[in-house]
């Protein structure tokens, strides 16, 4: 469970904090939001996602109450936004930012990319871009403020039972049993999305499928006159 992974991270973090050796950059993965589909006897998709949400909440809460909160910036991104049944674009996803110098209760509608998050981290760490993609990406500067907020966060307890298991035996359960979940990106994402859609919404609601759009910034040419 992701909540178990949180406690393992907490143990490592506390040991590093005690000797003032917390690295400037840390990567943590809470992966249960991928779920296991409708596999029989395994946690339901709702339980998996709730477990993931709660682990992320506990992670932010614990850091917000630590002595390094003022120097902390947390970037939370989804892995991975591809071929999802989104009404705008299949690659669209949300991102969360938290930290001592991050604005509270602020929703930024700027169109960023994953490279934007990477570019922002590079600027905070004082390192140069690693490729042309992050060099050209728009930094997420609107998310930050010059006045720190040292107030802590509080993780919300899920209202979903994290121990709920899949019990139905049907077509979507049978398809779920065939997925290789032992390795990243081994499952056909479109097929997996279809299983989750019909497994949770029923057979009568049509699967919308992925929608893809092009996003670009027009270049305004100077008037020759």
Cα–Cα separations (whole angstroms), residue 99 to 12, 73, 141, 150, 196: 20, 4, 13, 9, 33
Q: Is there a domain that residue 126 lies in?
A: no
pLDDT band at 10 (very low <50, low <70, confident <90, very high): very high
Q: Is there a domain that residue 80 lies in?
A: yes
Share of the chain above pLDDT 70, in %: 95
Distance CA 126, CA 225 (A): 43
Q: Is there a domain that residue 24 lies in?
A: yes
Q: Is there a domain that residue 130 lies in?
A: no
CB-based contacts of 217: which residues, under 8 Å, 6+ apart?
none
The pLDDT assigned to 186 comes to 87
- Residue 41 falls in which region: left (phi positive, over 0), alpha (psi -120 to 50) or beta: left
Q: Is there a domain that residue 191 lies in?
A: yes
- Sign of the dihedral through C-alpha 67, 52, 5, 82: negative
Q: Is there a domain that residue 216 lies in?
A: no
- Sign of the dihedral through C-alpha 66, 75, 101, 19: positive
Domain extent, residue 159, equals 2-102+145-201
Q: Is there a domain that residue 123 lies in?
A: no
Q: Is there a domain that residue 223 lies in?
A: no
Q: Give tens-digit pLDDT for 209-224.
A: 777 777 676 777 766 6
Q: Report the run of H or E that residue 75 belongs to, with start and end.
A: strand 73-77
Is 0.85 topped by the overall pTM?
Answer: yes
Q: Give tens-digit pLDDT for 136-193.
A: 999 999 999 999 999 999 999 999 999 999 999 999 999 999 999 888 888 888 899 8
For the chain, what is the domain count? 1
Q: Find the angle CA(47)-CA(98)-CA(155) to the nearest 5 degrees.
A: 40
Report DSSP letters for 87-153, one per residue. SS-TT---EEEEETTBPSS--------HHHHHHHHHHHHT---SSHHHHHSPP-GGGB-SS---PPP
């Amino acid at each position: 469970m992701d909540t178990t992974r949180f406690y393992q991270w907490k143990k490592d973090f506390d040991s590093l904090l005690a000797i003032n050796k917390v690295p400037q950059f840390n990567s943590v993965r809470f992966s249960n939001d991928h779920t296991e589909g409708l596999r029989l006897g395994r946690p339901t998709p709702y339980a998996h996602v709730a477990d993931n949400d709660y682990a992320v909440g506990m992670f932010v809460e614990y850091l917000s109450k630590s002595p390094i909160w003022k120097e902390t910036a947390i970037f939370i991104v989804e892995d991975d936004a591809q071929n999802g049944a989104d009404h705008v674009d299949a690659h669209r996803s949300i991102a969360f930012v938290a930290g001592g110098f991050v604005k509270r209760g602020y929703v930024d509608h700027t169109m960023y990319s994953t490279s934007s998050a990477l570019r922002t981290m590079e600027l905070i760490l004082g390192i140069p871009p690693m490729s042309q993609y992050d060099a050209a990406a728009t930094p997420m500067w609107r998310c930050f403020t010059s006045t720190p907020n040292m107030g802590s966060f509080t993780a919300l307890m899920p209202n979903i039972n994290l121990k709920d298991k899949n019990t139905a035996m049907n077509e979507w359960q049978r398809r779920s049993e065939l997925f290789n979940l032992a390795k990243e990106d081994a499952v056909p994402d479109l097929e997996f999305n279809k299983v989750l859609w019909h497994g949770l919404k029923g057979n009568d609601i049509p699967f919308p499928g992925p929608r893809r759009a092009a996003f670009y910034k027009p270049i305004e040419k100077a008037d020759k006159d």
